[in-house]
Every structure is written in C-alpha cells, then in structure tokens.
Structure 1
C-alpha cells in the first residue's frame, strides 16, 4: 500500500482548493491513499466563515469524490463541519 501526504498551498475559496486537491489526486495515481491537511477544502483565513456554506462543501466533496474514483485513490480531506451556522 502506497500512502502520500499532500502538503498543498491553500487558497481563499473552496473552488480554488477543490481544483488544487483534484489536480494533486490526478497527478498521484500511483498511490493508494492521499492525506490532505486540516481545512484543505476551505483553507484557513479570515474569510473562512463565508466558505463554510454547506452547498459549497457538498459540491466540493462531489467533485473530489469523482476524481478519487477516476484515479482509484482514497483521500482523507479536512473541512469544517458547522452546526447552527455560528463560526
């Protein structure tokens, strides 16, 4: 089993981070598992509250899941789970 740990640069939006994550997954098809940083989907910055909308996170997870299936890689990806929308 081949496991990789992704040290990725973080961006300001879920969309940008999702693109980066999908590119990393696509580039490392030789691995079985990829582990991404805490808050990889949203990034960690002063605008994080705006990036934690469940619709943004759900769309990102769908796109990443599709890329994982294409690449046959299991990915562990961090994102905030917000209950009651208080961040």
Structure 2
C-alpha cells in the first residue's frame, strides 16, 4: 500500500511540474554547440547523439525538464551535459 501511495504522489508531482511555466530553449544554428562540436578531437557515439537529441527536445518544451543522465565511468556523461549547457 505504501508503494502505491508513493507512486500516486510522484505521478501527481510530475503532472504538476508539467503545468509550471518555463522558457523553451531551442538550439541555435551556428551557435556555441556547433563551434564546440567542430573542435572535438573525436566523434560522439550513437548513444551520446541519441541522448543529446532527447535532452535538446526536452529543453525546447515550455515545461521544466527533470532528467537523470547515468552511465558507466568514461561513457561521456559530462560531454552530453556540457553539450546541453551550450544550447541554453
């Protein structure tokens, strides 16, 4: 019963968060992100590209984003987070 009550409370909180106002942050062509990517000495993995696009899509909405980026040590989490920051 406790787990169900907790899940309902979390679902309500997630819904309430979608009603909060936020400024949509859409990526800018030829912005900092493009300059940063051009200077990288390596190419991003398919997973890094995929998750970056998901984050960019979330940032482009008009409600707050709540996301946990997780992965193995050395999997590029910091790179993905930095790329997200450069779009804002």
Q: Which structure is higher in helix share?
A: 2
Q: Which structure is higher in strand share?
A: 1
Q: Same fold (TM over 0.5)?
A: no
Work out which structure has the larger RCO, using CA pairs closer than 8 Å and 6 or more positions apart in sequence. Answer: 2
Which structure has the larger Rg? 2
TM-score, L = length of structure 1: 0.38
